[in-house]
């Protein structure tokens, strides 16, 4: 991934304003805490008509799921985000929604049976965004 695309991804991922870097020369590692957190962002899906984004953060056990899925809603002021922790998954995909204010997300999770065998399970997470800017959302999951 080229550095311009990586910077764009990190900026979109957490809404950070990442400063420009010098041209040729020696750069020192950053001690900026927000940049270290941003480095864990795996992917970002912008939901423009909702002023929102889904983003995943790596972490947890990579053998079972290992990706934390989050939903960020832009506050009324547009300067910060309200973040909801949705699920611990292996993968996700934003699906088409039937109307404004609602999201459908396909979740793919690792599940383990009583014998220790791991298999994939898919489900659909329905998200009602009414009240999201006030601090709460309603979700329903269907297998």
User: 5-34, pLDDT tens digit by residue?
Assistant: 333 333 344 444 445 555 678 888 888 888
Q: What is the pLDDT of residues 84-134, one digit of tens each?
A: 999 999 999 999 877 889 999 999 999 999 999 999 999 999 999 998 988
* pTM metric for this prediction: 0.76
Question: Residue 19: its pLDDT value, please?
Answer: 54
Q: Which residue has the higher pLDDT, 38 or 97?
A: 38
Quickly state the pLDDT bin for 78 (edges 50, 70, 90). Answer: confident
Contact partners, residue 123, CB within 8 Å, separation at least 6: 106, 107, 109, 141, 142, 143
Instruction: Give whole-number Cα distances, 109 to 13, 34, 96, 120, in Å.
Output: 22, 28, 20, 6
Cα dihedral sign, 33-39-42-44 = positive
**What is the predicted pLDDT for the residue at 39?**
87
The residue with greater pLDDT, 11 or 79, is 79
């Amino acid at each position: 991934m080229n550095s311009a695309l990586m910077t764009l991804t990190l900026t979109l991922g957490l809404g950070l304003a990442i400063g420009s870097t010098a041209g040729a020369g020696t750069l020192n590692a950053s001690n900026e805490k927000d940049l270290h957190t941003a480095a864990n962002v795996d992917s970002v899906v912008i939901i423009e008509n909702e002023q929102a984004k889904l983003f995943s953060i790596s972490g947890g056990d990579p053998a079972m799921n290992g990706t934390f899925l989050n939903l960020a809603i832009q506050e009324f002021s547009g300067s910060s985000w309200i973040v909801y922790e949705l699920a611990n998954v292996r993968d996700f995909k934003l699906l088409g929604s039937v109307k404004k204010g609602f999201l459908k997300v396909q979740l793919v999770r690792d599940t383990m049976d009583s014998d220790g065998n791991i298999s994939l399970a898919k489900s659909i997470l329905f998200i009602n965004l009414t009240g999201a800017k006030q601090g709460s959302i309603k979700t329903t999951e269907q297998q």
